[in-house]
Amino acid sequence: MNNQRGIALFQVLLLSTILTVVILSMNYQAREHVKLAHAAQHYAEATLVLQSAEAELLFTMLTTSWYELEQNDSIQGINYYGKTFGFAGADVSIQDTSGLINLVSPDANLMSAFTASYANDPALGRNITAAITDWQDKDTIKKLDGAEQADYPEGITVRNGPIQYNEELRFIKGMTEELYQKLSPVMTLFPRGLNLNQQPESVWRLYIQEPALSELVRLRDEHQLTAQNFERLTGISVNEFQSFSTGPGFRIRFTAFNSNVKLSKEITVRLLPLRPEPIEFYEYRLRNLPQE
């Protein structure tokens, strides 16, 4: 009798344990389903913010002069030299592409100053500039300080044609991943001329010394920088080759946060408000995946 009672008690305890495990498992799965549902909701909401901010900003830039937007107090901090500002629930940065370094034919002096600053090696900038030229030209004759196919390891084929995307810079001889991460944000395939006014501070720093640099930054942030001020402070002439105008090419980055979800997209566009087709898209990229 005692044995039977012990067996019955064991069976009850075993059944209770199994039921507890099943209930805990169901509870865990329910929590995971809720978590996934919340993640999907946050992702959808962040996506909606990105799409709304993109549509509203492009509409605003097509219907209002770019100069007037900078003076408009309703959009705090809007600028065209890459500083982030808030707009329609998203963090936005607009970079006039004519203020960036031309990736197709970079200025050797700027590149030399850049690698001197970030890699303590001014010669590296000249080498990379020459290698970029060799990467694109159709001949196999190596330029001074350049690089042709024989100078690359197996698995990298010199294009012998125009560079197609910014990430191609990673393959250029002399480029390191660390240097690429610093250089890529200030280079573009779509320069649309040279705009001194809309160059990022990091580019100004390559050829403008203190105290002129700090004064230029202050004047620009206060929307008081003029071509005359720039010439006076730097001694550099503003002309048809080195302009002070804005547009029409822009690299625009949108970032939206919702709970633990972060979404970013980056577009490069040419805006032509008076044309039948006022927007030309050059690049359209989703930069970040959601993280929950």
Q: What is the pLDDT of residue 10?
A: 67
218 domain-assigned: no
Measure the CA dihedral 224/197/177/163, to 10°. Answer: 160
Same domain, 42 and 107: no
The packing angle between helices 212-221 and 227-234, to 10°, is 170
When divided into structural domains, the chain yields a total of: 2
289 domain-assigned: yes
Average pLDDT over residues 268-272: 95
Q: What is the per-residue pLDDT across 257-267, written as a single tens digit (0 to 9) for each?
A: 888 888 999 99
- CA–CA distance, 249 with 239 (Å, rounded to integer): 19
87 domain-assigned: yes
Same domain, 111 and 176: yes
Average pLDDT over residues 2-6: 65
Same domain, 37 and 109: no
202 domain-assigned: no
Same domain, 84 and 112: no
Measured in whole angstroms, how far is the alpha carbon of residue 11 from the centre of its chain? 64
How many helices (H) and strands (E) in the chain? 8, 7
Same domain, 57 and 132: no
220 domain-assigned: no
Checking if the pLDDT of 28 tops 90, the result is no
Same domain, 179 and 157: yes
- Please report the beta strands in 101-260, taking only residues with DSSP state E, as ranges in sequence order: 101-102, 187-188, 249-258
Q: What is the per-residue pLDDT across 151-162, written as a single tens digit (0 to 9) for each?
A: 999 999 999 999
Domain boundary among 135, 153, 186: 186
Q: What is the pLDDT of residue 20?
A: 77
- CA–CA distance, 216 with 210 (Å, rounded to integer): 10
Domain boundary among 158, 186, 214: 186
21: alpha, beta or left, given left = phi > 0 and alpha = psi -120 to 50? alpha
The strands making up 90-96's β-sheet, listed across from edge to edge, are 85-87, 90-96, 249-258, 261-271, 279-288
232 domain-assigned: no
pLDDT grade, residue 235 (50/70/90)?
Answer: very high
Average pLDDT over residues 162-178: 93
Same domain, 87 and 130: no
Same domain, 140 and 47: no
Residues 292/275, Cβ–Cβ less than 8 Å: no
112 domain-assigned: yes
* CATH code (residue 115): 1.10.40.60
Q: What is the DSSP letter of 129?
A: H
State the pairing for strand pair 187-188/90-96: unpaired
Same domain, 80 and 163: no
Question: 43 is in which domain, residue-wise?
Answer: 1-100+191-195+245-292
Same domain, 153 and 70: no
State the pairing for strand pair 101-102/187-188: parallel
Same domain, 94 and 1: yes
Q: What is the pLDDT of residue 87?
A: 95
Domain boundary among 144, 163, 186: 186
Amino acid at 154: E
215 domain-assigned: no
Q: What is the pLDDT of residue 290?
A: 41
The full length of the chain comes to: 292
Same domain, 21 and 96: yes
Kindly state the tokens that stand for 14: 């075993």
